[in-house]
Amino acid sequence: MNHTVPPSAGLRGYSMPFSPNGRSSTLTPPPWHFSGEVIMVDYRIPPEVAARFLPAGLRLGEDAGAAAAVFAHWNWCSADGAELANPRHCQFGEFLILLSCQNEGRQYARCPYSWVDKAVPLVRGWVQGMPKQFGEIDQTRPKLVGRAGPRPDGTGRFDGTLSVGGRRVAEATVYPREITTERPVLHDVPLVHTRAMPPWLDTDVPDGRLVTTNVTDVEFSEIWTGEAELRMFDALDADFAELLPVEVGAGYVFQYAETLTGGTLFEPGQDGPSR
């Protein structure tokens, strides 16, 4: 796939800003590699609420009303790994909500809300069709020595917080107790996004197509699980308030890696390693 977009004679790039040699773009073309530390909590919302957040083509999953709150701290880089030389550029925090859904018997996840704390992942999310916004995300990171943090073996206490515009939106705590061989369901199924750009010209037709992301090189570390707490606050709008938990399930702590290589138009019953 040719990821370079030549918008006009002499100017090139994968994304704006375009320039003569194409090197000024905010985004490098895929593949994009990610390695991250994840704190995740399963929870439940009323099935009728979950259904209202699903686009046509998706319906409630087998476990109707299942949802998850996910905190992650990521390192990312493009194909040549150049971004890793600048930690401020290659690291970001993320919080997202996942809803269980399905199509023709295959299980998927839908992300109705997501926040990141850097500009590059925000723009990259819009390219993918993810509804990313700016937020302040913090989470516990394990330490090899000392007593000011949990050890990498997963024991201890892991916390994550999300604030948006100075208002606290979500808090999670996980108390890992044991290793599980079961991957968290909503972190191990394809995600379905809506790829859209608001109309600007009179002739524009909104896109709105459903897409998945092509993923390779998926890796999970040991997955620790245990009791969890999740607090989400009615601090944004009436729609978000509907996604507050009515029941909190298990929590998970693990490391995760993947490579994003591009997108695929969502088709009922499609197979493949998309996420």
| Residues 158-169 pLDDT 10s | 999 999 999 999
pLDDT at 272: 41
pLDDT at 152: 76
pLDDT at 271: 43
Secondary structure string (H, E, C) spanning the chain:
CCCCCCCECCEECCCCCCECCCCCCCCCCCCEEEEEEEEEEEEECCHHHHHHCCCCCCEECCCCCEEEEEEEEEEEEECCCHHHHCHHHHEEEEEEEEEEEEECCEEEEEEEEEEECCHHHHHHHHHHCCCEEECEEEECCCCCCCCCCCCCCCCCCEEEEEEECCEEEEEEEEEEEEEECCCCHHHCCCEEEEECCCCCCCCCCCCCEEEEEEEEEEEECCEEEEEEEEEECCCCCHHHHCCCCCEEEEEEEEEEEEEEEEEEECCCCCCCCEC
Q: Encoding tokens for residue 225?
A: 């699980």
pLDDT at 47: 98
Enumerate the domain spans of the chain: 1-30, 32-265
Those residues whose C-beta lies under 8 Å from the C-beta of residue 184, and which sit 6 or more positions away, are 40, 42, 68, 223, 252
Cβ contact 34:259 at 8 Å: yes
Cβ contact 66:100 at 8 Å: yes
pLDDT at 2: 53
Q: At 119, phi and psi to the nearest 5?
A: -70, -40
Q: Is the pTM of this model over 0.85?
A: yes
pLDDT at 269: 55
The stretches in the chain having pLDDT less than 70 are 1-9, 154, 268-275
Which CATH code fits 32-265? 2.40.400.10
pLDDT at 273: 41
Place of tokens 């948006």: 164
Place of tokens 């290589």: 261
